[in-house]
Structure 1
Amino acid sequence: MTPDSIESLFTRDSGAFVFARWGRPIAPIVFGVEEPTLRVVKGAFEAVAALAGHSLAETDPELGSNCMVFFFRDWAELSEVPDLDRLIPDLGPLVARLTAAKANQYRVFRFDDSGAIQAAFVFLRMDPALAAQPAEELALSQVVQVMLLWSERAFAAQSPLAIAGQKVILRPEIAGVIRAAYDPVLPAAARDPSHALRLFARLEAAP
């Protein structure tokens, strides 16, 4: 990784550099899956949180669960989730756009006053492409993508995952960025591209 490649991971399509990590313990909840898949998703949260040195919690004092993961077959199902429209502004138009785009995933973040991640919502429409992925791979990929506010195109050309033998793992350079991003010395949010240099310095210093 170079400072420029790290900077690109957090540079939005608008050209703005926007970095954010979780500012509180993550309290995940998963909807729409059976118990075996639920265990896989929770295991992915535990593994990535341990990598980052960040805490998980059973509940969030403000929101109950602050990281909601929804598995479903059709975007229209979201309109039937009780009170979801209170958590996701303009849910109806959003569902219409995602349906028209034939999207199979979408993530929404909320932030606290400091700019740190306060809550995240992950929507996965299980089309043939997602359904074909092993549960471990899908879960790890999704958890990685909510640990930080990556740019829209951070993983467009290359997945955050890699194959090691017969096992799916997090790419070492992405794991390093996550670990560096959660250094308690660093701020939980940053808008200056020089933050990429601070992340790079911690990657270089890592054993």
Structure 2
Amino acid sequence: MTPDQIEQLFTRNDGSYAFARWGRPIVPVVFGVEDETLTVVKGAIEAVATLAGAEMDGMDPELGANLMFFFFRDWDELSAVPDLGRLIPDLEPLVARLKAADASQYRAFRFDDQAAIQAAFVFLRMSGEMADIPAETLALSQSVQVILMWGDGAFAEVSPLAVLPDSGTAILRPEIAGVIAAAYDRMMPVSADDKSHALRMFARLQGEAP
């Protein structure tokens, strides 16, 4: 990938650069699925975390779990989730906006005092086209999209996944895997708002380390 392509992956709609990675071990929990799908989702999270070199744990000292996946069929179901309003500010207006937009997914992040990811919440409305996506593909795609805070349009036109023509299996695109690994390099910052950060990641993809 070129430096400009990497930069675009972390550019917001207003043109600003915003990057963050997890600053603590990831502790996932999944709501609204059967045990078989639960295993698939947690397996995808572990696979992406291993690629990144991100730590995982069984308990977060503040939240218990800090990566929460919610699967449901209607946005109104979120209003009935106990204590969710404490984790997601202005939950009711948010649900109203998502319903009005006929949205199928939504992700929210919380950050620590270093602007690293502290917690992430993934909401997936399993109806229409979303319900037809294989569980393995959906789990891998969503895990990729919460391992870093990507730009608003990072995967709007091109999925982070590719499909193997022989088997139909979805895999992470090699260039995106490379960006994730570079982002978690121990010498890289946990957050950045300057576009020079993209140049540093590009250098790591080339085997250099300025």
What's the TM-score once normalised by structure 2's chain length?
Answer: 0.97
Q: Secondary structure at the match of 2:187?
A: coil
Measured after TM superposition, the shift of residue 14 of structure 1 is 1.0
Counterpart for residue 3 of structure 2: 3
1:30 aligns with 2:36: no
Counterpart for residue 187 of structure 2: 185
Q: Secondary structure at the match of 1:205?
A: coil
Whole-angstrom distance in 2 between the partners of 1:115 and 1:106: 20
Counterpart for residue 205 of structure 2: 203
Measured after TM superposition, the shift of residue 163 of structure 1 is 1.2
162-171 or 184-193, larger mean C-alpha shift: 162-171
Q: Secondary structure at the match of 2:206?
A: helix
Counterpart for residue 39 of structure 2: 39
Measured after TM superposition, the shift of residue 36 of structure 1 is 0.4
Counterpart for residue 49 of structure 2: 49
Report the count of equivalent residues: 206
Q: Secondary structure at the match of 2:157?
A: coil
C-alpha deviations, 1:10-68, integer Å up to 9, x for none?
00001110000000000000000000000000000110011001111111011100000
1:70 aligns with 2:78: no
Counterpart for residue 12 of structure 1: 12
Q: Aligned runs of 1:26-175 on 2, under 5 Å?
A: 26-164=26-164, 165-166=166-167, 167-175=169-177
Whole-angstrom distance in 1 between the partners of 2:33 and 2:115: 31
Gaps of 5+ in 2: none
C-alpha deviations, 1:141-199, integer Å up to 9, x for none?
00000000001110000100001231210000000000000001111000000000000
Whole-angstrom distance in 2 between the partners of 1:129 and 1:192: 37
Q: What RMSD, in angstroms, separates the aligned Cα atoms of the two structures?
A: 0.8
